Amino acid sequence: MSYQDDDEEQMGPHSESFPKDFGYGHSPREANLESKPRILLMGLRRSGKSSIQKVVFHKMSPNETLFLPSTCEIVKDDINNSSFVQFQIWDFPGQIDFIDPTFDSDMIFGGCGALIFVIDAKDDYNEALTKFKNTVTKAYKVNPRIKFEVFIHKVDGISDDSKMESQRDIHQRATDDLSDAGLHQIRLSFHLTSIYDHSIFEAFSKVVQKLIPQLPTLENLLNIFISNSGIEKAFLFDVVSKIYIATDCSPVDMQSYELCCDMIDVAIDLSSIYSTEEEAFDNKTSSLIKLNNSTVLYLREVNKFLALVCILREENFNKQGVIDYNFLCFRDAIGQVFELKIRATKHMDEDIEVSLMESPNDSVVF
């Protein structure tokens, strides 16, 4: 079981300050919707599914979600941020009924990569747990490869003790229910989330990462990069959504993640105000922030959609030349992974993709 600890203070709403034209790209290559991994958002009515999707992928401010109408039919959203992060999110109406014969479970669960089940932690969750059990049982029968992710949601304003208590209780009951149904082999991941802080972005990052076949390569590249550059922590960010698609193997603490998210906001905001270029984020984008605790934050553009954000000690930044040189090697290597994927997609040549997945470290040369 993987857990995400969340003992953060409640934060203010996220910046909505991305320029409007800094949206998701759409290319003809990406038109084939059905072949992309699918993430399903399920859970009871008003548990917060649509809010999560809007806040993470459409820059809606958390307060605006108060006015979201209830979802009446499945809403399919295509996410095209980068070649690494391509998937669809299907937002379900809370009242959907699996027993209904018109519910085509083979089609819905068949191509599904991850199923996020959202449980409102502020509400009585008995009904949610029953629905969870029915949903997982049905989905697992159709497609046992689905990753099941439980978002214990709306934990803002709840004390740390009650958060932990809800998580323990939900975990226990969800696992017991599944064991009773003879499904003890299913692995569940639990995340404490809220749209009012960074926890929802962190949780979504982890869900998306599980769907990226190149993840081991990316992590390996990051490990090599940081160990050769005197860097403490590095995140590879999808700039538009601010989910991180990979990080090095050292543990992630929420504060570092928040700092890096905020840095992206600052860099893009300043760039969109003062830059004479059309795009706020391009191949010359870089940013350096020195904090008053002898820590440096360093951001570099990797490609049109990805940024590398690093945290390091000030004295290690003396060797900026080494860091910059290593970064160029890192960017090249990412380019190679990216090119391989494009080629594999273009020619529909599955061999390339498979060989990339099986020997993910081949292209790593620094």
Ligand X SMILES: Nc1nc2c(ncn2[C@@H]2O[C@H](COP(=O)(O)OP(=O)(O)OP(=O)(O)O)[C@@H](O)[C@H]2O)c(=O)[nH]1
- Minimum distance between the CB of residue 235 and ligand X, rounded to whole angstroms? 23
* Closest CB to ligand X among residues 192, 308: 192
Q: Tokens 């080629």 label which residue?
A: 343
- Binding track over 48-87 against ligand X, x by CB under 6 A: xxxx-------------xx-x-xx----------------
Q: Which of residues 62-81 bind Mg ion (CB under 5 A)?
A: 71
As a whole number of Å, the CA-based R_g of the chain is 21
- Minimum distance between the CB of residue 160 and ligand X, rounded to whole angstroms? 16
Q: Which amino acid is at 150?
A: V
Question: Would you tell me how many other CB atoms lie within 10 Å of the CB of residue 354?
Answer: 12
* Closest CB to Mg ion among residues 49, 331: 49
Question: Would you tell me how many other CB atoms lie within 10 Å of the CB of residue 293?
Answer: 7
C-alpha torsion sign, points 131, 133, 134, 138: positive
Please enumerate in sequence order all residues whose Cβ is within 8 A of that of 89, keeping only pairs 6 or more positions apart, or say none: 38, 39, 40, 41, 53, 57, 76, 77, 79
* Closest CB to ligand X among residues 62, 113: 62
Q: Which amino acid is at 201?
A: F
- Binding track over 183-212 against ligand X, x by CB under 6 A: -----------xxx----------------
Give the 3-state secondary structure of residue 4.
strand
- Minimum distance between the CB of residue 122 and ligand X, rounded to whole angstroms? 7
Q: Which of residues 143-162 bind ligand X (CB under 6 A)?
A: 153-154, 156
Q: Which stretch binds Mg ion (CB under 5 A): 18-26, 42-50, 97-105, 276-284?
A: 42-50
Please tell me what DSSP assigns to residue 282: -
Helix (H) or strand (E) holding 332: helix 320-346
- Minimum distance between the CB of residue 53 and ligand X, rounded to whole angstroms? 8
Binding-residue total with ligand X (CB under 6 A):
21
Q: Which does 196 bind (CB under 5 to 8 A by kind): Mg ion, ligand X, none?
A: ligand X
Contact between 93 and ligand X (CB under 6 A)?
Answer: yes
CB crowding 47-63: b at 16 or more within 10 Å, else e? bbbbbbbbbbbebbebe
- Minimum distance between the CB of residue 51 and ligand X, rounded to whole angstroms? 3
Q: Which does 153 bind (CB under 5 to 8 A by kind): Mg ion, ligand X, none?
A: ligand X
- Distance, in Å, from the CA atom of 240 to the CA atom of 19, rounded to the nearest integer, reads 10
Structure-block tokens of residue 174? 């969800």
Contact between 217 and ligand X (CB under 6 A)?
Answer: no
Question: Would you tell me how many other CB atoms lie within 10 Å of the CB of residue 220?
Answer: 19
Among 4, 50, 86, 256, binds Mg ion (CB under 5 A): 50
Q: Which does 198 bind (CB under 5 to 8 A by kind): Mg ion, ligand X, none?
A: none
Tell me the DSSP string of 113-180. Answer: EEEEEEEETTS--HHHHHHHHHHHHHHHHH-TTPEEEEEEE--TTS-HHHHHHHHHHHHHHHHHHHHH
User: Can you say whether residue 191 is alpha, beta or left, with left for phi > 0 and alpha for psi between -120 and 50 degrees?
Assistant: beta
Please enumerate in sequence order all residues whose Cβ is within 8 A of that of 270, keeping only pairs 6 or more positions apart, or say none: none
Q: Which does 48 bind (CB under 5 to 8 A by kind): ligand X, Mg ion, none?
A: ligand X
Q: Tokens 């954000």 label which residue?
A: 309
Q: Which does 113 bind (CB under 5 to 8 A by kind): Mg ion, ligand X, none?
A: none
Q: Tokens 């690093």 label which residue?
A: 310
Q: Which does 194 bind (CB under 5 to 8 A by kind): Mg ion, ligand X, none?
A: ligand X
> How many angstroms from the chain centroid is the CA of residue 249?
17
Q: Which does 45 bind (CB under 5 to 8 A by kind): ligand X, Mg ion, none?
A: ligand X
- The CB-nearest residue to ligand X is 94
* Closest CB to ligand X among residues 124, 351: 124
Q: Which does 47 bind (CB under 5 to 8 A by kind): ligand X, Mg ion, none?
A: ligand X
- Minimum distance between the CB of residue 8 and ligand X, rounded to whole angstroms? 13
Task: Kindly list the residues in this chain that would bind ligand X in the complex (CB under 6 A).
Answer: 43, 45-51, 65-66, 68, 70-71, 93-94, 153-154, 156, 194-196
Contacting residues toward Mg ion, per CB under 5 A: 49-50, 71
